[in-house]
């Protein structure tokens, strides 16, 4: 489905802000970033959760394109905690964590919009969701890409998403485990691939 079909009924207003974008392995494409910003502008969540901070480029753009009062939580695993992971991890994820060479979330750390962002350093499979049930209006899943992790992160996200909220996944169609899991899940939920991206979209109707 095209992005315009996803946002048309919400009558999106306002402009999208993009800054400091460059592509490194693990980042979204420029159009994918535009899609996320557009969806956030359209659905106007008051609380956002991101699973997989990485360099913080996506986190920063969620911050600068959300409501001034929006609170953003983002989770990532420090490389020194790699040995303590709960589930199986894909080889590509392990390589990215070990070779990052930058501070997690560095794009927003010294940015004015960073005051809206709360960084959690955790294995997402061990993250305590009990205090966040039905708490978020938008959740972006782009953490570990093994079947076990995408399943756990998604099941936790379905517990944390509010009625009328949006869940967005990255790497659908480009990572086998993500694709297989979401294909399985789409037999139960109406999950939509956004055209010309590796983003998959789910809207929890209220």
Question: What's 47's domain CATH number?
Answer: 3.40.50.150
Check whether 69 has a pLDDT greater than 80.
Answer: yes
Count: domains in the chain: 1
pLDDT at position 100 is 60
4-46 pLDDT per residue, tens: 998 876 655 578 999 877 777 788 999 999 999 999 999 999 9
Check whether 86 has a pLDDT greater than 60.
Answer: no
* Residue 155: other Cβ atoms inside 10 A: 11
Distance CA 79, CA 65 (A): 29
Q: Is residue 176 part of a domain?
A: yes
Q: Is residue 74 part of a domain?
A: yes
Closest CA to 46 of 63, 66, 70: 70
The mean pLDDT of 152-180, rounded to a whole number, is: 97
Q: Is residue 15 part of a domain?
A: no
The mean pLDDT of 93-100, rounded to a whole number, is: 58
Q: Sign of the CA dihedral 186, 176, 120, 27?
A: negative
Q: Is residue 22 part of a domain?
A: no
41-64 pLDDT per residue, tens: 999 999 999 999 999 999 999 999
The mean pLDDT of 103-125, rounded to a whole number, is: 94
What is the reported pTM? 0.92
């Amino acid at each position: 489905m095209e992005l315009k079909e996803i946002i048309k009924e919400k009558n999106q207003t306002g402009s999208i802000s993009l800054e400091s974008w460059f592509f490194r392995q693990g980042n979204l494409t420029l159009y994918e970033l535009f899609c996320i910003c557009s969806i956030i502008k359209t659905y106007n969540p008051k609380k956002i959760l991101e699973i997989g901070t990485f360099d913080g480029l996506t986190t920063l753009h969620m911050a600068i394109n959300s409501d001034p009062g929006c609170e953003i939580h983002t989770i990532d695993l420090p490389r020194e905690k790699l040995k303590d992971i709960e589930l199986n991890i894909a080889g590509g994820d392990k390589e990215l964590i070990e070779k990052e060479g930058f501070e997690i979330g560095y794009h927003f750390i010294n940015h004015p919009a960073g005051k809206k962002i709360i960084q959690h350093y955790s294995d997402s499979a061990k993250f305590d969701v009990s205090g966040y049930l039905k708490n978020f209006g938008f959740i972006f899943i782009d953490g570990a890409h093994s079947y076990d992790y995408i399943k756990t992160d998604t099941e936790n996200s379905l517990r944390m998403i509010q009625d009328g909220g949006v869940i967005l996944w990255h790497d659908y169609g480009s990572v086998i485990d993500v694709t297989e899991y979401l294909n399985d899940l789409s037999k139960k939920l109406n999950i939509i691939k956004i055209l010309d991206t590796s983003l998959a979209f789910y809207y929890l109707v209220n």
